[in-house]
A and B are shown apart, each in its own frame.
Chain A
């Protein structure tokens, strides 16, 4: 299933460097690393969850592949699977863009929510998918995340949110902006009930998502190299009229500036998350 998905979904990674290379690389079988530019077999990549075996660059991971990589087999139960966006502002070309991304990702929207078990620890989970409208937050994304937090509160289980988003979704205007308030107040209610919220920031976590639920978890983890921040690099450079350092707004930069707890490589996430979840079990620490 994974391999099949790569053929249909991941063509974007196969940006071929030259005409000569184009002739040599069989389409759909190989991909170029965005970090070291080396060419790899897709098989090789999927084995490493889209992390470059050579340089460790963490490429985007589709939401369901992420869930498969974390959840104990057969335990994931999806919520609100069919919620789908409309075009409330009659924004030009929005429906076409949604349709295109639905076909590209086989998702109904930019976040998948549900619950399941990680090494036996029950948890709610929300996983954003940056391939769907850049993971931007409109009505559906905001509502699905708020609903997932509310359900976790009712079920008295933790929630893990994987963020991957360019920010609020422009095409839904102020309805998108208000999702920042909705999701953040949902977090507040969850906090009041004593719930445990873990945020794992993946590439990219910026704009309105960074400035709402993503930044108010109890624990903030991030994948190596992930872009994390409020404003875009280009806008900041224009404002301050200077070049920003290469590592600006990376996960490592945010760690240094006190905004996250830990940078965790993708290969270690399942283990790390299950340890943290386990420390929040009633009574603590049963294996």
Chain B
């Protein structure tokens, strides 16, 4: 059963009606081809109207869609020879972050990404894509190996945030995130990050300090969840859609603010409508970005990374 979002209902209903008519004509002598053509035109217009004017809150719904492709799906479609690597060598292995090595266009690369589950059981195993400190420490271990072996790092961001739990606090969630931010500043290999779903605050940034940061068209990236902001500001999470608007969390808003580099187009209605197309798009952007970054010498690379982050901010 596919998840249907509220704002998509008119599209789904119209498509069902068209299908009904088609079935009707199949089994009878009636000719309804004109009617069907008219309705198909209307559907096209309706889809265009809805999908090209998505509100920030509607994009949040798409970014969180149950069928939205996850890191592991993209890894399978974009890379070859993937070897998943586990564990932080300190405490455990965190399945909410996937790390490993693979080939991309014949170049060895390191891949790190948040991993949500695709169903309830999987989601419990993956902790809904919300990492504990050991997830970030596993990621850091892989990043250091990448630097040692001169492999570019590609990260996929897709999390509601770092896990807010007792054990996570006891094992130093803050320190794990902070250390990654710091270390990512000095890794002398290209780092490319792609926000594929939801980018949730520090838990997202902890694998997202990058030379180039791209976002899928309907992905979001926010300092606080819209629901969280709404309950602080208006004492009611029902105002989440208003908060999503105010927080400027969409790819186009963040491009304008100079936070991200490029917007990767999605198929009409979201990445889950055509995963193959989406994977090809992502691969193309990663390839172009890698070509651009590989020309830069190592010292220059980290100097440019610092200059980039140094510039972010508005004040008088």
Contacts and interface: CB of A to CB of B under 8 A. Distances in A.
Given A170-B247, A184-B185, A257-B172, A230 B312 contact: no
Contacts of A208: 201-202, 223
Nearest to A109: B315
A275 interface: no
B147 interface: no
A121 interface: no
Interface stretch (B31-39, B173-181, B280-288): B173-181
B181 to A, nearest CB: 4
B178 A143 contact: no
A173 B233 CA distance: 14
A177 B205 contact: yes
Nearest to B203: A211
B49 interface: no
A69 interface: no
Contacts of B92: none
A47 interface: no
A178 B246 CA distance: 17
Contacts of B209: 181, 184-185
B113 to A, nearest CB: 18
Contacts of A74: none
A185 B173 contact: no
Interface stretch (A31-39, A213-221, A276-284): A213-221
Interface in A175-212: 175-182, 184-189, 191-192, 207-208, 210-212
Interface string A232-259: 1001100110001000110000000111
Contacts of B202: 168, 177, 180, 207-208, 211-212, 230
A213 B181 CA distance: 9
Contacts, number: 186
Interface in B157-206: 162-166, 168-175, 177-179, 181-186, 201-202, 205-206
B164 A216 contact: no
A259 B175 contact: yes
A179 B313 contact: yes
A198 B171 CA distance: 21
B171 to A, nearest CB: 8
Contacts of A138: 313
A236 B169 CA distance: 9
B316 A86 contact: yes
B254 interface: yes
Contacts of B163: 239
Contacts of B314: 85-86, 88, 139, 172, 175
B178 A214 contact: yes
Contacts of B221: 174
A200 to B, nearest CB: 15
Interface in B256-288: 257, 259
A230 B201 contact: no
Interface stretch (B72-80, B94-102, B303-311): B303-311
A142 interface: yes
A169 to B, nearest CB: 8
A216 B306 contact: no
B166 A188 contact: no
A191 to B, nearest CB: 8
A135 B312 CA distance: 19
A20 B309 CA distance: 55
A184 to B, nearest CB: 4
Nearest to B316: A84
B176 to A, nearest CB: 8
A211 to B, nearest CB: 4
A201 to B, nearest CB: 10
B224 interface: yes
A211 B315 contact: no
A130 to B, nearest CB: 17
B162 to A, nearest CB: 7
A89 interface: yes
Nearest to B178: A215
Contact of B179 (A173, A179, A182, A216): A216
B223 A174 contact: yes
B222 interface: yes
Interface of A: 83-86, 88-89, 91-92, 138-140, 142-143, 146, 168-170, 172-182, 184-189, 191-192, 207-208, 210-216, 229-232, 235-236, 239-240, 244, 248-249, 257-259
Given A146-B310, A174-B254, A188-B183, 6 more contacts: A84-B315, A175-B313, A178-B309, A214-B174, A215-B179, A259-B172
13 contacts: A83-B316, A86-B314, A170-B232, A175-B312, A179-B312, A184-B181, A185-B305, A208-B201, A211-B181, A212-B178, A215-B177, A216-B179, A248-B169
